[in-house]
Amino acid sequence: MFEILSKDERSAARTGRLTTEHGIVETPSYVVVGTNAAVRCLEPGDLPGTKTQMVIANTYHLWRELGEEGLRDYPGLHQEMGWSGPIMTDSGGFQVFSLGAAREHGAGKVQGMESRASRAEDAMVRVTDAGVYFVEGGEEHYLDAELSMKIQEQLGADIIFAFDEPSSPHHDRDYTRLAMERTHIWAERSLAAKASTQRIYGITQGGGFEDLRRESAEAIGAMPFDGFAIGGSFGTSFGSTETQLLKELAWSVPFLPEYKPRHLLGIGRVADLFNGVLAGIDTFDCVIPTREARHGSLWTRDGRLDIGGKGKYAEDGGVIETDCGCFTCAERGIPRRELHAMFREKNFEAGRLATIHNIYFFNDLMEKIRGAISSGTLADFKKEYLKEGP
């Protein structure tokens, strides 16, 4: 399933080849988010031109949208998406956090990126040792390891994930340990319940606690998973986001089997990609390219452009990025001012063009990172790309 092709002499970075039933993924790689079996704003024919290798869909949202009957008759994600390449599905575990502790604590995926004030009454989740109750519209919907496996089998992704409980950066040590121990038990139950030939990844937890991160990596790493993911919400109340992420990767990655692929869940800013790759991460998924594109934020080598903003680009005749090979820049050649006007007019095509560019940007960056690892120049490439000092 996974073959390491080259290693960086000065870090844990490596290039690899991840073989799935629906194709090969060259790693390190960005996995594009297609939450409800679609990459928002795009048509299926748009993806191949963005250098996309793999897509990840959301088990929880598809489960709630399709229902039991809809899942039973579901043709599978590949047919539904019109996408012939590899697909991942998460386990639904992240919604345990996003609909529960994230609402209760006003927490974001990463400490320092909180989304709103904490309101315990907003939480939609009740966690038990057996599984999780999601509360919607006055009704409870139960999800556990066994049902998560069944749903993911029906969705038909190439790679699926074990059910887990991510903890919040605001959880104390005692609760973080409890969530980690549940995750370990649910991982064993996920393995036992899996009845398909799909590849399955286990997820490590442990929050911002070094000993818990190591304990989780060792426990999950000893289980017979096909690959591993580092999960949870990154950061504590101390230090910067980037510093804490680096620490938590250092506490986890060395204790996972080297010969199996490693995935970093939900993290994907430019600096994070470099740091993750240097720590030994093989694949990443994040909503940044697609979500920010829909709001008019476009990524370039020189930073992020707020094309949808209040007028800075209203008279700018240049393309988003002159040396970009994406459809929006290289083929369409759309000027910044035109794209700005489209966003101001709420033209749907603006989101499509911006999304194509952002996905291409991140996939192209990962391709360049693979080349730098293979040529032994990753450290220099990172320094030059991020404009770091000597």
Per-residue model confidence as pLDDT tens digits over 237-255: 333 467 888 899 999 999 9
- Burial code of 322-355, b = ≥16 C-beta within 10 A, e = fewer? eebebbbbbeeebbbbbbbebbbeeeeebbbbbb
If you ran DSSP here, which 8-state letter would residue 167 be given? P
State residue 100's pLDDT score.
61
pTM to 2 decimals? Answer: 0.92
Q: Are 319 and 63 in contact (CB under 8 A)?
A: no
Q: How far lies 379's CA from each of 1, 24, 81, 156, 373, in Å?
A: 28, 26, 38, 38, 9
DSSP H or E stretch at residue 161: strand 159-161
Say how far apart CA 321 and CA 281 lie, in whole Å. Answer: 28
State residue 111's pLDDT score.
46
Q: How far lies 287's CA from each of 24, 98, 228, 265, 348, in Å?
A: 22, 14, 20, 11, 19
| pLDDT tens per residue across span 375-390 | 999 999 999 999 886 6
Say how far apart CA 310 and CA 344 lie, in whole Å. Answer: 9
- pLDDT of 235 over the 50 cut: no
pLDDT bucket at 136, cuts 50 / 70 / 90: confident
- 364 CB-near residues (< 8 Å, 6+ apart): 51, 324, 325, 326
| pLDDT tens per residue across span 69-116 | 999 999 999 999 999 999 999 999 888 877 766 565 545 444 444 444
State residue 239's pLDDT score.
36
Instruction: Return the active site residues.
Output: 90, 285
pLDDT bucket at 18, cuts 50 / 70 / 90: very high
State residue 237's pLDDT score.
32
pLDDT-above-90 percentage for the chain: 81
| pLDDT tens per residue across span 256-285 | 999 999 999 999 999 999 999 999 999 999
Q: Given phi > 0 = left and psi -120 to 50 = alpha, else beta, which region is 303?
A: left
State residue 77's pLDDT score.
97
| pLDDT tens per residue across span 335-376 | 999 999 999 999 999 999 999 999 999 999 999 999 999 999
State residue 122's pLDDT score.
58
Which residue is it, tokens 């996309």?
52
Q: How far lies 122's CA from each of 48, 103, 134, 191, 368, in Å?
A: 40, 6, 12, 33, 43
State residue 109's pLDDT score.
44
| pLDDT tens per residue across span 160-202 | 999 999 988 888 999 999 999 999 999 999 999 999 999 999 9
User: Counting every residue, how long is the chain?
Assistant: 390
Q: What are phi and psi of 19, to 5 degrees?
A: -100, 125
